[in-house]
Each structure stands twice: as structure tokens, then as C-alpha cells.
Structure 1
Amino acid sequence: MTNDIVEQNGSLGSKQNTFPNITVPYAADDVGFDMNYLYWIFLCILMTIFGLCLASCKYLRDQYHNPELKRKRKEKYEVETRAKEEKAVLSVTPEPIPSYRFLHTLYKKKSDKQLNIEVRAIVHNQEEFPCTTALLPRNAANNNKPEIITYDHSRVILRDMPPGYNNDYINASFIDGYTLTKEYIATQGECIY
């Protein structure tokens, strides 16, 4: 077969290689490598990569929309959010605000959402300060608004009671002033009995 390729002067020529229904031309001086073959290999690799990317995207989308995994992500997000909020609440330190800076500080804290965190800190501190006396059934009539009650540690205790009146509870609290403790008293106002 190699004798057919060699010509009279000893140089290599070209020949048509035939297969059933397919004719592939090649030059004998090539190393048996055709550029069309290289393009087909490249195209197959490209299509394989594209198919893998498509399958990966579908898998990731299915995982993202999986109800069980959605629930777990939501729970994880809620736990992380609660932990961040709790950390922010615990980091609140009370500091006095001069009266001339009050409005500026209030607007600044509202815009920074710091005011919400400070309100949560107040609610968090309610666990530290009980309200047992205000919640007693005999004192319920003295609470003008039942959702606003006094802490046991800051409530005003009535002294020198009139004869026959044996309850020392009033819905009022001492408030520390800028320089003195128990400088002010806050109450709900008149209560009609």
C-alpha cells in the first residue's frame, strides 16, 4: 500500500482514502492530522462544558427552591438576625442627653434605627425589673392603662394613708433627674374610681 503513495521521483503524493459512503481527502505530507478533526474535538468539549453548566444550574435552582432547604435557610437567617439584634441590644449603654441636644439626638437615632434598638433594650430590661405589685388583682383598679405599669424598684409607695385605706399602691414611678435620683414622679394622670 505504501508503494502506491510513492511516486517515481521518491516524493510523497496524495491519495483519496475511501470508506463506505465517506471519502476523506488527506495529504501524505501531513502527519495524519486534519483541522476539521480538531474543530470537532473543540466543539464536542465546548458542548460538554455547556451541558455540564446547564445541568449544574438546574441542580442549584432545584436545591434553592427545595421547600425543606428553604425552611432551613429561613430558620438560619432568623437565628442570625436575632443574634445580631440581641448583641445590639446588649451593647446599648444609657447616657444622658443634654436638653439642647435632645431633638438632634432623637432625629439622628431615628434615622440610624438606633431608637428601635434602644426601645428593645428597654423591653429586654423588663425581665430584670419585676412588676409584681402592679400586677396584683387588688391594684388593677389603680392602673388607668393596664399596659403601662410600674416597676417594683421605682414605684412610688404611699405613706401616711388615711384610716381604712390599707393599699400603698399608686401607678406612679420615680424618675432620676440629670443630677439627682428620684427627682421626678411620672404617673398616668387622674383615675376616676
Structure 2
Amino acid sequence: MSINASKLCCPSCGAGIDMDINGKKNIFCPYCGTQFEVESNEITINSNINKNIYIHKRYTDDAAIEKERRKEKERADAFATTIEIQKLEYKKEKRTMIICIGMMLLGFLMIALVGIWEESEEKSKLADGYIKIGQSSKDMEGKNYKVVSEQLRSAGFKNIVTIDLEDETWFLQNNDDVESVSIGGVTSFETGDFFNPDDKIIISYH
């Protein structure tokens, strides 16, 4: 079936074209820009034009829908990836926080255990008759030897010997200052150290 009409169908894209074609031999498709010839004012157009236009439009619409669907999927995938990254970062931060808290608790526990052990050790030493020195060897140096000797005797030490170094010269006067203290052969000790009350103490002084 054929009809005469002034409505054309673009041979390239299939779009329907409504225009005045009187006296025109060449026209351009306003949709795709394709140029084609028109031989006479009486154009024979196949009755399938409308069908072709419908098919073209449907194809175009389906392609646009598919393109939009893909964009939506890409956006959804990107959002899901962002959420997953945030979840991983949150888990990492949570794990790090748990580790830090665990280490702090472990540190406090160790300090408490050390304190308990030291207290228990001190009680045990005292129960066995040992004496806590109460001052370091550095603290005793430079003090008057009589004062140091009396402090040690008051603490419970029994065997105390004092030695005068007899090193007085014209520029170094004898002022009875402690040079060193040895307890049971130990010359360097701290305030928390324990000694047997029978340990020999030697106080050397100027």
C-alpha cells in the first residue's frame, strides 16, 4: 500500500519529517542532519513509515532507559563501596581502640601486680629480720659520719666500723664528711634495699 504525502521519513534515522518540500531537491533531516534528495513534489511514502518511526522511537527510548539504568547501577555501586569502606575504617578504629584499652588495662594490672609483689617481698624480708636501709649510698655521702653511724645503729645495724682516711692537707681540712659507706661489701645501694642487721658496715670519712 502507498500514499502520497508531504511527510517524509529520513532514510538514515527513520525520523518523521514534516516540512514544505515544494521546489526543493535536497533537504536535511532536522534530527540527524543527513542530506537526501527529493525528486518531485509528489513523494511516494511507504505505509510502513509510521511503523518505522515507532520502532525507531521505541529503540531510542529503550536505549535511554538502559543508559539511565546503568548510571543508577554505577551510582548504587559507588555508594555501596563508600559504605563498605566506611564500615572497614570503623572496624579498624574500633579494633585499634580495643587494643589500646587492653594495653592500658594490662599496664595497670602489671603495675598493681608489681606493687603487690614488692609489698609482699618487703613483708617477707621484714619478717625474716632484714632491715630496710631507708636511704641510698649517695644520700649518705657528704654527711657527717657520726650522724650516719647513729642513723644506721638506730635502724638496727649492730656491726658498724668507722675509718678515718687521714687525708687532711693544707687545702683539704678534716670535716668528718662521709666518703663512702659499705654494707656487707655493697657500696652502691638504694633506699628500698634490705640488709641483714649483722652485715658489717664500714663508714669511711675525711
On whether the aligned pair clears a TM of 0.5, the verdict is: no
TM-score by length of 2: 0.29
The structure whose residues are more often strand, as a share, is 2
